[in-house]
Amino acid sequence: MAHSTTQYKLDQKFEFTAGLKKTIFTVLGIGAVILIIGMIAAALGGHDHANGDEAGHAFHWYHRVFANLWINNVYFTGIAIIGVFFFAIQYAAQAGWSAGLIRIFLSFGYWLPFAAVLMIVTFFLFNHDLFHWTHSSLFDKGGAEYDKIIDGKGGYFYWPLENGSFPIFFIFRMVAFFAIWGFFFNKLRTLSYEEDIQGGTGYYYTLRKWSAIFLVFFAVSSSVSAWDWVLSIDTHWFSTMFGWYVFASWFVAGLAAFTLVTVFLKERGYLEMVNENHIHDLGKFVFAFSIFWTYIWFSQFLLIYYANIPEETFYFVERLQSDVYSPFVFVNLVLNFFLPFLVLMTRDAKRHAIFLKVVCSLIILGHWFDFFLMVQPGTLGQNGGFGLIEFGMLLVFGSAVAFVVLSNLSKRNLIAKNHPLLEESYHHHI
Amino acid sequence: MERDKNFILGVYEDEDVLMDAVVKIRKSGVKIHEVYSPFPVHGLDEVLGYRRSRLPIAAFMFGLLGTSLALIMQFYMMKFDWPMIIGGKDHAAVPSFIPVTFEMTVLLAAFGMVGVFLITSNLKPWSQPRIFDIRITDDKHVIAIDLAANAALGEEKISDVLKNAYASEVNKKSFV
């Protein structure tokens, strides 16, 4: 009953056992082997694919590796920053229910530095293979490949330099976003850990202030990064929904990942204060934002479908009328909408770990397919697909992220033990 | 003795005390008819041992009805009754049916849920509510115990149980 004050063990640390590390490294190893087999198979059998794409470049098997690097970079960067975002949301909303869980959200931010390096390096090495707009011949007025539309958009990438030179504005945004996200992550993290030692409510208010500032910045930067990193692949195309669309995809994937880690920790006997009510709330988040994602996806699709303007429809024609990608459009909708909608609809499904484990794993895979569909048609044309390279690289990235997140989670106290709303979270009841 | 006529009422000021009282009374074997309170008391339905409401199932069914009606309506109108070409699309342009289908689903689920709730809670406009104690609309919680349902115990015993369970008053109420 609500009257008795329960004492929980607050000084608990997640133990990142050797067995668990071994499992993660095994998955990583299997992923690497699959990736290498896929690359060898593609290199040996790829000659018949060497037909030129629209930019006049021949397709080589390694383009597929670059495209996959980009898919996974963008996807896991998103999950990492959503960790910081969701942590900040809890403070800005003064949420009590989640007080025992915030360290889990926060720990996803540790992937950010790795993501920043991978992203920037990938861009510098393979920009011509990923982004059509990086070819300087497109901006050469009077040249054979001059593209008036892309030249008109050039300022977004090259300002203040000349179009077609070094994309300084684009690079500046990429570096600035990672730097500022990293700064806020570091700030929130430090304050939260200091609170463990010092106590008092002062940290709570300071955290709330920094969270609010971060959320304002993230509101803008999440959209802009979606245009930069994903939308600009299809340079001719545009969609005003796109920022929200990418954000929604990241958010659901992030929520699914938090739920999985929470359930996993509960099963290992941690977090006694987190009961089925908290799990239920996480389940509701996954359920609700899966519908939100579908709403955004469909809003984008419906307007373009109905208006039927060629410069907009080609994005969906490229995907829906392609033998390579059209099955995945439906896989995407089934995994990310119908499955969570139907399975997580009942209260019992959201309160029991087994349903959540299955659905959340499939959602994480499903939103990977969402990014797969955003990136591959624009970078690889009809030469893409889901094969050994894709599967292998997803396993490599996924287990690397899991390793970074869990190893950093194990370094600090698992519970923000001086969080002023912890008592409220014990009595959370729905 | 006739059921649903004669009641013994325990009056409470505080909802925490009320919750403890409900647990205590149920433990002593007395069957509680109903608890009336001026505001929702969180967790009360659980200590009373009520089964979970089946209202969500009704909502789902009505939602499904809304989905089917909306789709049937649109297919009938757009494909069979008065086919029109809009924007060069098929007569049955399914994606453009989705918004209407969604709205109909929500509308029927909401209306159905409200209707079912009103009926099952006996909140018909013409129903005469039984007022156990006028103060339940203000600041008092009341536990009502049906005498006939606890005939084996008798009035005295039930009053004692209520008094032991921290009731600030124990009253009798009969309806004709």
| Residue ranges making up the domain that contains A43 | 18-49+56-111+235-426
| Closest by Cα among A206, A210, A308, A300 to A248 | A300
| CB proximity A309 to B under 8 Å | no
In a domain, A6, yes or no: no
> Are the beta carbons of A429 and B52 separated by less than 8 Å?
no
pLDDT at B1 over 90: no
Amino acid letter at A260? L
Average pLDDT over residues A159-164: 91
Residue located via tokens 């359920």: A287
pLDDT at A49 over 60: no
Q: What is the pLDDT of residues B66-94, one digit of tens each?
A: 999 999 999 999 999 999 888 889 899 99
In a domain, A377, yes or no: yes
In a domain, A140, yes or no: no
| CB proximity A345 to B under 8 Å | yes
In a domain, A378, yes or no: yes
> Are the beta carbons of B99 and A3 separated by less than 8 Å?
no
- pLDDT the model gives residue A430: 83
| CB proximity A354 to B under 8 Å | no
In a domain, A178, yes or no: no
Q: How far is residue A235 CA from its own chain's centroid?
A: 22
Measure A45 CA to nearest chain B CA, in Å. 40
- pLDDT the model gives residue A55: 47
| CB proximity B40 to A under 8 Å | no
Mutate to test the interface with A, among B18, B27, B42, B61 (most CBs of A within 10 A): B42
What angle (nearest 5°) sits at the alpha carbon of residue A8, between those of residues A7 and A12? 150
Q: How far from A147 is each of A138, A184, A235, A239, A351, CA to CA, in Å? A: 5, 40, 11, 20, 55
Q: Kindly indicate the confidence band of residue A213, based on its pLDDT and cuts at 50, 70 and 90.
A: very high
Measure B16 CA to nearest chain A CA, in Å. 8
Q: How far is A389 from B98, CA to CA, in rounded Å?
A: 37
Going from the N-terminus, what domains does chain B have, and what CATH number goes with each? 6-52+130-174 (3.30.70), 55-120 (no CATH)
| CB nearest to A308's CB, from B16, B52, B87 | B87
> Are the beta carbons of B88 and A302 separated by less than 8 Å?
no
Neighbours of B168 (CB within 10 A): 13
Q: Kindly indicate the confidence band of residue A50, based on its pLDDT and cuts at 50, 70 and 90.
A: very low
pLDDT at B60 over 60: yes
| CB proximity A7 to B under 8 Å | no
What pTM was computed for the model? 0.91
pLDDT at A273 over 60: yes
| CB nearest to A3's CB, from B16, B52, B88 | B16
In a domain, A170, yes or no: no
| CB proximity A341 to B under 8 Å | no
> Are the beta carbons of B88 and A308 separated by less than 8 Å?
yes
Number of domains in chain A: 1
Average pLDDT over residues B157-167: 92
Q: What is the pLDDT of residues B114-150, one digit of tens each?
A: 999 999 888 888 888 888 999 999 999 999 999 998 8
Q: Kindly indicate the confidence band of residue A52, based on its pLDDT and cuts at 50, 70 and 90.
A: very low
In a domain, A205, yes or no: no
> Are the beta carbons of A306 and B96 separated by less than 8 Å?
yes
Q: Kindly indicate the confidence band of residue A301, based on its pLDDT and cuts at 50, 70 and 90.
A: very high
In a domain, A171, yes or no: no
